[in-house]
């Protein structure tokens, strides 16, 4: 158990719809990262938040947005869904800040999104 | 632009033998490298890491080697066990003073350890 909690574990929806994925980081971790894993693909970095502020952005589509709340949980919003958005969405957390530590990220079990 | 490459999608090794998983990177700013292991229906879990100031790091049966001039790293598992069967991801990051850096992942290598 990594300590990172993601909900929901599975989600099936239709094209054009909007969904929200939720992530609770490990206790004490300030950074949250979102990654997308499509079929037979590696983990593609989407976005990082640190203590409520956006820190880094990857290849995140304009239809996708995220935020990190004061209690440090994060949500990834996916809108106008297309078939190609079907993927596993992982959240990860790390301590961040001045103590860079080992650079290790701790991953949740992922949210599997299926768009029909 | 794939900055971290794992050119072998799969690898099959007999139990007790050595497993060698390879990874190449193109970004010379990467200075910290990690290996993650992923079982089906689970998130990736950290396995071992290496800083660019070292060329080898060992943890039990797992050893990571880094060749900076070749921009290449490898993970050695000795001896391989059936429980090692999983997908292994190579990842890299750049130092950013005072902040945690995102990881850039390869596409993974599926290791199967046979009896």
Mean pLDDT of all residues in chain B? 92
Whether residues B43 and A33 touch (CB distance < 8 A) is answered with no
Per-residue pLDDT of chain A (116 residues; tens, 9 = 90+): 889 999 999 999 999 999 999 999 999 898 999 999 987 678 999 999 989 999 889 889 999 999 999 999 999 999 999 999 999 999 999 876 444 455 688 999 999 999 99
**From CA B68, how far away is CA B40, in angstroms rounded?**
32
Find the mean pLDDT for residues B34-53.
Answer: 92
Residue of A nearest to B99 (CA): A97
**From CA B45, how far away is CA B43, in angstroms rounded?**
6
Residue B55 in this model has a pLDDT that exceeds 70: yes
Question: What residues in B contact A108, CB-CB < 8 Å?
Answer: 43
Q: Nearest-5° angle of CA B35, CA B41, CA B42? A: 40
Q: Minimal Cα–Cα distance from A82 to chain B, Å?
A: 23
The number of C-alpha atoms within 13 Å of B106 and in the hemisphere containing its C-beta is 31
* Contact with chain A for residue B106, Cβ under 8 A: yes
């Amino acid at each position: 158990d990594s300590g990172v909690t993601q909900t929901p574990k599975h989600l099936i929806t239709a094209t054009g719809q909007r969904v929200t994925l939720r992530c609770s980081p490990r206790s004490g971790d300030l950074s949250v990262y979102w990654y997308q894993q499509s079929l037979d693909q590696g983990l593609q970095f989407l976005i990082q938040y640190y203590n409520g502020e956006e820190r880094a952005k990857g290849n995140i589509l304009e239809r996708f947005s995220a935020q990190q709340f004061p209690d440090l949980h994060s949500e990834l919003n996916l809108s106008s869904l297309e078939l190609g958005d079907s993927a596993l969405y992982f959240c990860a957390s790390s301590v961040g800040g001045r103590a860079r530590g080992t650079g290790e990220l701790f991953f949740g079990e992922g949210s599997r999104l299926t768009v029909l | 632009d794939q900055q971290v490459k794992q050119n072998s999608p799969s690898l099959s090794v007999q139990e007790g033998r050595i497993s060698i998983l390879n990874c190449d990177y193109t970004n010379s700013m990467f200075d910290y490298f990690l290996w993650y292991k992923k079982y089906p229906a689970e998130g990736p879990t950290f396995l071992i890491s290496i800083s660019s100031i070292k060329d080898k790091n060992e943890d039990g049966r797992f050893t990571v080697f880094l060749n900076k001039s070749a921009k290449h790293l490898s993970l050695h598992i000795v001896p391989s066990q059936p429980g090692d069967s999983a997908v292994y991801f190579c990842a890299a990051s750049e130092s950013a003073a005072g902040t945690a850096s995102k990881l850039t992942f390869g596409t993974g290598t599926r290791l199967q350890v046979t009896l």
